[in-house]
């Protein structure tokens, strides 16, 4: 059989084209932000010759002019290697591109701060010499912030907090005890990876104090992690908080900038609880601290008074399974009230509270989910938020009353999914939207939803990078099925183009299936799916129970044992698709990455007669090998649920493997440790079962980079063609 890496039908989409410039998704801006004064929108965009390197751009609203501000390649330092801390941080944030990957506006909108290869730069918008380099190549700085008054720039260097007074250039070191296992102002591993809290210090709104978390990893047991690169082998003593083991020790401190005085806050909490979120109230006199219990079934919102060191528990959320964290806490301007989100009804909704913890208003309600709070117009008494009030397949921007329950008013256009960013005055919003026939586009809209301008219309026409391949795109179908308990399952099916009447094709189930993620939605489908459809494969995606944005009743069936409800639901989809006249039920494959890799294994092992082949990438195979915060959320402590841990692992089912299996893993994965795969290799060998492997030297969990992706997807092509096509066609 001819390899798909080197040949293809004339005019068809190839892997080389998918992973080359210009990006097939079109010229889509990223990291869109309003300037604090509302006059500009800035964003990151890849260059036409290198889609992996990002540059900084602006759109000036009044003049409607777009211009390149900073080209990353012009500032790159040859041979500069990112620090280990920065590499880990980017891996946690799933940043796979290079160049300018983040930036920060000065509060007075006069300048933009950005890091590049460990150095800090300021771009001054109205200066004759706009670019100013703040630090040199001898140090690495991370976790950058402007003070709210714009007078200071803060960052973390060598595990300590620093700040620069911008007017004088004076550098101050704010903490001095960082080093070894102690870090100030940097979120710990599980905070970044599992709590999605990437910050660990916060300026007070009056710019007079900084609250920060100190992390001491000495409490975390040392385990050895092996990193195998192309030309060297490393053994690292990693402090990885396995499920059931001790976490890093954290404590919350406050530094008064004027005096440099520092105090540690005696937050009322058990020693094994998590500091989940920290927010200043707008009056700068209080901190709001979210304390999550180790079993994640209780969340306390605690305030600390800066003036008299007094604590108060404002409210407590509880759950019989687990509580999902959120970023919806918002202090009102006077500091006397706040907006809070809760799933107490089974769906996340917004509530207005007084500063003493009294409930003042239920802002939203109904059998649908609020995903994020986007803005508050206190003068008009309006709250703007993203959610799924119209359909679980489309995320929209909505508006509701701040002080009373009222119907959610949809602002964004139906028929597509949206991601928005509001300006400070709630007068405009940036709308990033897409649909299956609309690549990701960006418009600038007035707050009532009217389009002010199309910043990136990204129309799928003859000028679009995808246009030459449009005739070979698959036919997309959405539908609903029913889970065992009667809940609705949404699926998306892609049928190969030009499939002749009466012909059948193999089917690929592309699965994630894990909590906190939704895959089936009315949005742009990445080109790889259409590439596979063009090569004669049908593709099925289904959001099983446990997936997000459907409410707690949809999520909770996975509690106590993973890989049961998820497998049942995926099989509902497979059985439906197998009965379609164009699907060959003998040729069903499955592919997934991370939790999807785990699901690939569980499907192949628990339904061995259904799946002829599967590709499992970076899978968890034994949940005792995964981290505490994620695993205990769903499986409790190992000592309290040993049967659940065993049944949730792949090992009780290994002997049932019948289909062909390809296992792929990065050999420097510090998230889903490579041990997950090597342990499975040994179990399969002990059962004398054939399987294939492809390991990538130096690769982390995301397996990012053009060369790695080109190779691994080529491996998958050859593998599925061999086992799902050869001998059948």
**Catalytic residue list:** 594, 669, 701
Torsion angle of C-alpha atoms 516, 522, 525, 529, degrees rounded to 10:
80
Rounded to an integer, what distance in angstroms lies between the CA atom of residue 419 and that of residue 170? 40
Q: Which of 265, 168, 250 is nearest to 210 (CA)?
A: 265
> Rounded to an integer, what distance in angstroms lies between the CA atom of residue 458 and that of residue 177?
51
Residue 271 CA to residue 260 CA, distance in Å, equals: 27
Residues 6+ apart with CB under 8 A from 474: 494, 495, 496, 497, 529, 530, 533, 534, 538, 539
CA distance 289 to 278: 5
DSSP 1-68: ---TTT---TT---HHHHTSSSPTT-S--EEEEE-TTSSEEEEEEE-SS-TTEEEEEEEETTTTEEEE
> Would you tell me how many other CB atoms lie within 10 Å of the CB of residue 164?
19
Q: How far apart are CA 227 and CA 229, in angstroms?
A: 6
CA distance 236 to 9: 47
Compute CA 197 distance to the chain's CA centroid, rounded to the nearest angstrom. 11
Given phi > 0 = left and psi -120 to 50 = alpha, else beta, which region is 26? left
> Cβ of 605: how many Cβ atoms within 10 Å?
23
Closest by CA to 538, choosing from 582, 581, 573, is: 582
Residue entry with tokens 């008054």: 149
The owner of tokens 């913890």 is 357
Contacts 24+ apart (CB under 8 A), 301-305: 301/329, 301/340, 301/357, 302/267, 302/268, 302/269, 303/355, 304/265, 304/267
């Amino acid at each position: 059989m001819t390899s798909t890496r080197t040949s293809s039908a004339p005019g068809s989409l190839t892997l080389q084209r998918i992973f080359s410039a210009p990006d097939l998704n079109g010229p889509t801006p990223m990291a869109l932000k309003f300037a604090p004064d509302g006059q500009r929108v800035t964003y990151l965009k890849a260059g036409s010759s290198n889609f992996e390197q990002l540059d900084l751009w602006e759109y000036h609203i009044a003049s409607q002019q777009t211009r390149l501000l900073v080209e990353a390649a012009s500032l790159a330092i040859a041979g500069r290697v990112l620090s280990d801390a920065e590499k880990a941080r980017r891996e946690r944030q799933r940043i796979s591109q290079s160049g300018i990957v983040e930036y920060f506006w000065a509060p007075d909108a006069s300048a933009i701060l950005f890091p590049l290869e460990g150095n800090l730069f300021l771009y001054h918008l109205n200066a004759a010499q706009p670019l100013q380099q703040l630090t040199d190549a001898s140090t690495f700085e991370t976790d950058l912030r402007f003070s709210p008054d714009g007078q200071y720039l803060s960052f973390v260097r060598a595990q300590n907090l620093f700040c620069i007074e911008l007017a004088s250039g004076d550098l101050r070191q704010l903490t001095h005890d960082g080093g070894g296992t102690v870090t100030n102002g940097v979120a710990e591993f599980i905070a970044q990876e599992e709590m999605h809290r990437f910050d660990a210090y916060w300026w007070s709104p009056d710019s007079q104090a900084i609250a920060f978390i100190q992390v001491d990893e000495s409490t975390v047991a040392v385990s050895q992690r092996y990193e195998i690169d192309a030309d060297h082998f490393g053994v690292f003593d990693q402090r990885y908080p396995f499920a059931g083991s001790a976490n890093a020790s954290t404590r919350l401190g406050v530094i008064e900038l004027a005096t440099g005085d520092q105090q540690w806050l005696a937050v009322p909490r058990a020693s094994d609880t998590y500091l989940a979120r920290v927010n200043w109230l707008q009056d700068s006199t209080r901190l709001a601290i979210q304390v999550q219990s180790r079993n994640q079934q209780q969340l306390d919102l605690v305030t600390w008074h800066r003036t008299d060191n007094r604590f108060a528990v404002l409210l407590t959320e509880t759950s019989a399974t687990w509580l999902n964290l959120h970023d919806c806490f918002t202090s009102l301007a006077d500091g006397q009230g706040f907006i809070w989100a809760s799933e107490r009804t089974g769906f996340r909704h917004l509530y207005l509270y007084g500063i003493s913890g009294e409930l003042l208003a239920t802002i939203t309600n109904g059998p649908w989910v609020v995903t994020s709070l986007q803005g508050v117009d206190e003068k008009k008494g309006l709250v703007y938020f993203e959610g799924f009030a119209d359909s679980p397949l489309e995320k929209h921007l909505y508006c509701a009353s701040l002080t009373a329950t009222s119907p959610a008013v949809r602002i964004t256009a139906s028929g597509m999914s949206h991601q928005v960013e509001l300006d400070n005055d709630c007068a405009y919003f940036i709308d990033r939207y897409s649909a299956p026939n609309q690549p990701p586009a960006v418009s600038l809209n007035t707050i009532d939803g009217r389009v002010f301008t199309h910043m990136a219309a990204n129309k799928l026409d003859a000028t679009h990078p995808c246009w030459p391949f449009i005739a070979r795109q698959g036919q997309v179908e959405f539908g609903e099925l029913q889970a065992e308990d009667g809940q609705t399952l949404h699926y998306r099916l892609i049928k190969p183009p030009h499939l002749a009447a009466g012909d059948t094709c193999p089917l690929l189930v592309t699965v994630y299936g894990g909590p906190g993620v939704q895959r089936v939605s009315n949005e742009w489908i990445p080109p790889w799916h259409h590439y596979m459809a063009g090569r004669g494969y049908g593709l099925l995606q289904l959001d099983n129970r446990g997936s997000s944005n459907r409410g707690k009743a949809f999520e909770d069936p996975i509690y106590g044992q993973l890989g049961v409800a998820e497998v049942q639901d995926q099989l509902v989809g497979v059985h439906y698709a197998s009965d379609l006249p164009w699907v060959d039920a003998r040729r069903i494959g499955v592919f997934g990455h991370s939790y999807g890799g785990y699901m690939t294994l569980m499907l192949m092992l628990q339904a061995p007669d259904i799946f002829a082949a599967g590709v499992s990438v970076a899978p968890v195979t034994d949940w005792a090998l995964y981290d505490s915060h994620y695993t205990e959320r769903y499986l409790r402590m190992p000592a309290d649920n040993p049967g659940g841990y065993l049944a949730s692992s792949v090992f009780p089912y290994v002997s049932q493997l019948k289909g062909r299996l390809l296992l792929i893993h990065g050999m420097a994965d510090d998230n889903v440790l490579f041990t997950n795969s090597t342990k499975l290799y040994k179990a399969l060998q002990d059962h004398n079962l054939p399987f294939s492997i492809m390991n990538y030297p130096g690769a982390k969990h995301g397996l990012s980079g053009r060369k790695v992706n080109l190779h691994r997807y080529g491996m998958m092509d050859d593998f599925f063609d061999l086992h799902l096509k050869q001998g059948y066609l």
